[in-house]
Each structure stands twice: as structure tokens, then as C-alpha cells.
Amino acid sequence: ELSDEEVLVELRKIKEELKDEVVVLGHHYQQDDVIEFADYKGDSLKLAQDAALLKDKPYIIFCGVHFMAETADMLTGDDQHVILPDMQAGCSMADMANREEIDKAWDFMRKSTNDKIIPITYINCAATLKSFVGENDGTICTSSNAQNIIKWAFDQGQKLLFFPDQHLGRNTCHDLGISLDEMVVYNPNMLNGGLTSEQIDKAKVILWYGFCSVHQGFTATQVEQIKKEKPDTTVIVHPECNFEVVQAAHDNGSTAYIINKIKEAPAGSKFAVGTEINLVNRLANDFPDKEITSLSPYQCLCTTMYRVRPRWLLASFRAIKENKPINIIKVDDKTKEYSLKALNKMLELSK
């Protein structure tokens, strides 16, 4: 078996050898030894936009999680293959909503109100849920376009169903001037989501109960403590953090937004960052003239992103070289029809 170092040496060789056939996409939460091999790095929106433009490469290896690979598959051609180096690299938030639950919730909501409800899904979900929004006049958002997409939704109807992340939904709607008492949370593990028809009819925003197990690790107490102890430190967090954290922080945005803010800050700037630890550590290394620390003293690690290791990336490359590609992510045609409609709508609204 190859040592970790030998794996990296082999990877550099095989990547060069297959450079006309294979392109590698990497999300910002990947580890340094994987991100080194990414031809395109980005947040969820940028990686979807990049994938949509990659028409000349037969193989796209996606160093990220399952829903990202599914998205890339739908945005690329039928003759292209998207590969996920570890098939178990999922997303615990995406797993908090499934099609059956959403259909049931939708039924109840539609019976409860005459208002037109526009469904918006965070891109962190299975393709079947992207299809649901496509079938029901809704669309998809990421953390970098959520404001524009939600504004668009309110031009189309009177109410919003936002899933699966309650926090991104609540934080964004609040920024758009919707008050907390106009929002309710639907919990699929309770009868009728734990809501009455009257509550649905009165609400402006219905938030699915989902959350990110990584970002829920940050607390408002941590933010307050930093503000008190290090008043010259800017606290910047991801909008998957809960409402109190985002309210207490100085700034919030997608991974690309956080990176850009830190990049543009003058030398000597100090940041406490509330997002996944691999990105925070990379920022600290990339900007040694700035003080960059994690907002949390605990390791806020995305364990599913972490599954993608150079060894499995090498195995994916080797299988392509042998003409027996493995770990292909393929969305079936029926699901793809409306999911792609929703994805294209999102891309159009993100220009």
C-alpha cells in the first residue's frame, strides 16, 4: 500500500497524464491535500456555474459532497461523467428533508391557505427535492444568492416555504425585513409539522427544521466573548449559523464571501471566523499577515467533506485511466427534468 506521500506523488503524475480528460472541482471545505488538486475551487454557487461551463471534459471529479456532484451532473452533458471520490460523502443537513416528507408538508400547507406558496430549496438537498421546487414554480438558492432568490420568490407569491436549512432561511428573510413572528418552523417529525392550519395561513415564511451540524456548533456566547476580549477582531460567520450568532457577529456570508472579505482586509486585521475548520485553517495559513482564528474553541469539522482523501481521488483517476470509471453520480432523467429547470432558473437569477 502507498504511503500518504506516495499517494500525492502518484496523483500529481496521473493528473498531468489525464489532463485533457479529467477536471477536478473542489469545495472550500476540502482539506489542503485535496484542494491542491482542484482546477476550480469555489463555494456552492461558483462550482455549479463552473460545472455548467465545462463542456469539453469527459470526466469531472467532484471533491465535495453528494448533492454538489448531483448538481454538477445535471448541469453537464449526457456524455460527461461526474465522479465523487467517496460515495458516502453526504450532507447531514441535506438528509433532513426527503421527497415524501416535503410532499406531505406541501399537501397540508396548500389545504391550510389560499395564498400562493413559493417553495425555495437551499442547494444542499437531494435532486428529488430540486425537482419538487421545479415542479411547483419555485427555485433553488445558495448562501451567496439567497437574498435575490427570496426577493424573487416574493414577487411570485405571498408565502415562502424554505427548506431544508431553517437558519439560512430565517437569517436571509430577517435581512429582507420580515419579522421573526411572521416565520414558523415545520418539523416533519411531528403531526402536521407541529403547526396548525391557522399558523400556516398567518405565516409569511415556513421554515423547514433542518440545520447544519457543523455550523450549529457556534454560539452567541462565543461571539460576545470575542467582542469583549478582543474588540479589534471582526467576527465573520456563515449564514448556516443560528440567528443569535449571525445577529451578534459583525458580518456573515458564504464561504466565498468570507474568503474575499479576509483577502481584501489590510495587513494586521484580525478575524474570528465561524465556519468549517479546514477553511479557517487554510485562511490562517494563506494570510500570515492577518490574525485568523476559529470562532469556536472546538473543532467544527464537516466529517462528510472530510471523507474525500487523496487516496480515493487517486483511485478515481486510476479507474478512469483503466477505462473503468467508478463512483459515477447520475441523476435519473425523470428527476433531472424539473431539477434542471429549477437549477437553470437559479443560474439565470444569479447573473
Binding partner at 304 among ligand SF4, ligand 13P, none, C-beta below 5 to 8 Å by kind: ligand SF4
Q: With respect to ligand 13P, which residue has the nearer C-beta, 315 or 347?
A: 347
DSSP for 112-141, please give it: H-SSPEEEEEESSS-HHHHHHHHHTT-EEE
Q: Which stretch binds ligand SF4 (CB under 6 A): 14-22, 113-121, 302-310, 312-320?
A: 302-310
CB 303 within 8 A of CB 325: no
Beta-carbon count within 10 A of 138 CB: 25
Per DSSP, helices labelled H in 54-165 are 66-75, 99-112, 127-135, 146-156
- 92: contact with ligand SF4 by CB under 6 A: yes
Any contact of residue 143 with ligand 13P (CB under 6 A)? Answer: yes
Stretch that binds ligand SF4, among 85-93, 155-163, 266-274, 306-314 (CB under 6 A): 85-93
Q: Find the binder of ligand SF4 among 25, 35, 93, 146 (CB under 6 A).
A: 93
Which residues 124-163 are close enough to bind ligand SF4 by CB under 6 A?
124
Site for ligand SF4 in 255-294 (CB under 6 A): 276
Measured distance CA(323)–CA(224) in Å, rounded: 55
**Residue whose grid cell is 425585513:** 177
Q: Compute φ and ψ for 35, nearest 5 degrees.
A: -60, -25
* Residue selected from 117, 118, 280, 305 as contacting ligand SF4 according to rule CB under 6 A: 305
Minimum distance between the CB of residue 222 and ligand SF4, rounded to whole angstroms?
18
Residue 43 binding partner per list ligand SF4, ligand 13P, none, with a CB distance cut-off of 5 to 8 Å that depends on partner kind: ligand 13P
**Which one, 61 or 212, has the nearer CB to ligand SF4?**
212
Which does residue 92 bind out of ligand SF4, ligand 13P, none, counting CB within 5 to 8 angstroms by kind?
Answer: ligand SF4
Residue from 69, 91, 109, 146 touching ligand SF4 (CB under 6 A): that is 91
**254 contributes a contact to ligand 13P by CB under 6 A:** yes
Residues 50-109 close enough to bind ligand 13P by CB under 6 A: 91
Closer to ligand 13P by CB, 233 or 304: give it: 304
Q: Strand, helix or coil at 297?
A: coil
Q: Which partner from the list ligand SF4, ligand 13P, none does 213 bind, CB cut-off 5 to 8 Å by kind?
A: ligand SF4
302 counts as binding ligand SF4 under rule CB under 6 A: yes
Q: Are 182 and 205 in contact (CB under 8 A)?
A: yes
Smaller CB distance to ligand 13P: residue 212 or 236? Answer: 212
| Residue of the chain from 192, 222, 255, 335 that contacts ligand 13P (CB under 6 A) | 255
258: closest CA among 274, 241, 242, 245? 274
Distance CA 150, CA 169 (A): 9
- Does residue 15 contact residue 37 with C-beta atoms inside 8 Å? yes
Q: Give the angle subtended at the CA of 338 by the CAs of 337 and 342, to the nearest 5°.
A: 125
Taking CA atoms, 313 is separated from 19, 23, 102, 316, in Å, by 14, 12, 34, 5
Residue 136 buriedness (CB in 10 A; 0-12 / 13-18 / 19+): middle
Cα–chain-centroid distance for residue 159? 23
Contact between 130 and ligand 13P (CB under 6 A)? no
Pick what 141 binds: ligand SF4, ligand 13P, none; C-beta below 5 to 8 Å, kind-dependent: none
Contact residues toward ligand SF4 (CB under 6 A) are 29, 65, 91-93, 124, 212-214, 240, 276, 302, 304-305
Contact residues toward ligand 13P (CB under 6 A) are 28, 43-44, 91, 124, 142-143, 212, 240, 254-255
